[in-house]
Amino acid sequence: QVQLVESGGGLVQAGDSLRLSCAASGRTFSLSGMGWFRQGSGEEREFVAAASRTGGVTYYGDSVKGRFTISRDNAKNTVYLQMNNLRPEDTAVYYCAGTEFNVATIRHNVHYWGQGTQVTVSS
C-alpha cells in the first residue's frame, strides 16, 4: 500500500504563487503516474495535472495550463505542484493522486488518494 500526504496549502491573494507538496510512503515502487485533482465547494472533482514516473511526460487541465507546473523528485518520493498567478476560481481542496498504471490513465485509474490540502485565493 501507499500513503500520500499533501502540504503547502493556505490563504493567498489573487496573482500570488503557492507550491503544494505530496509525500509518498509505503510501497512507493508501485507508483507510476502521480498527479493532482481539486474540488471546490459544491463542485465536482476536476483534474489539475499529472506526471509520469520520471516526470518527463506531463498533462494539465485546460483551466491551469500555462499557470501550474507539476514536477517529481523520486529521491524524496515527492511530487510538487507549482501554482502561479492564482485566481479566486482556483480555490478548492487539492488532492494528490497516484496510479500504478500509465499516467495517461490517471483520470480513471487512481489507486491512492491523499487527504487533501485547502487552497484559498482571495480577490
pLDDT computed for residue 91 by the predictor: 98
User: What's the pLDDT at 74?
Assistant: 85
| Dist CA 79 CA 23 (whole Å) | 7
Residues near 48 by beta carbon (within 8 Å), at least 6 away in sequence: 35, 36, 37, 38, 60, 61, 64, 68, 81, 94
* Averaged pLDDT of the chain: 96
Q: Minimal CA–CA distance to 23: which of 49, 2, 52, 1?
A: 2
DSSP 92: E
pLDDT in tens, 98-119: 999 999 999 999 999 999 999 9
- The predicted-structure confidence for 20-40, as pLDDT tens digits, reads as follows 999 999 999 999 999 999 999
Per-residue model confidence as pLDDT tens digits over 59-82 = 999 999 999 999 999 888 999 999
| Position 48 pLDDT exceeds 90 | yes
d(Cα 43, Cα 46) in Å, to the nearest integer?
A: 9
What integer pLDDT is reported at residue 78 of this predicted model? 96
pLDDT band at residue 83, thresholds of 50, 70 and 90? very high
Pairing of strands 10-13, 112-113: unpaired
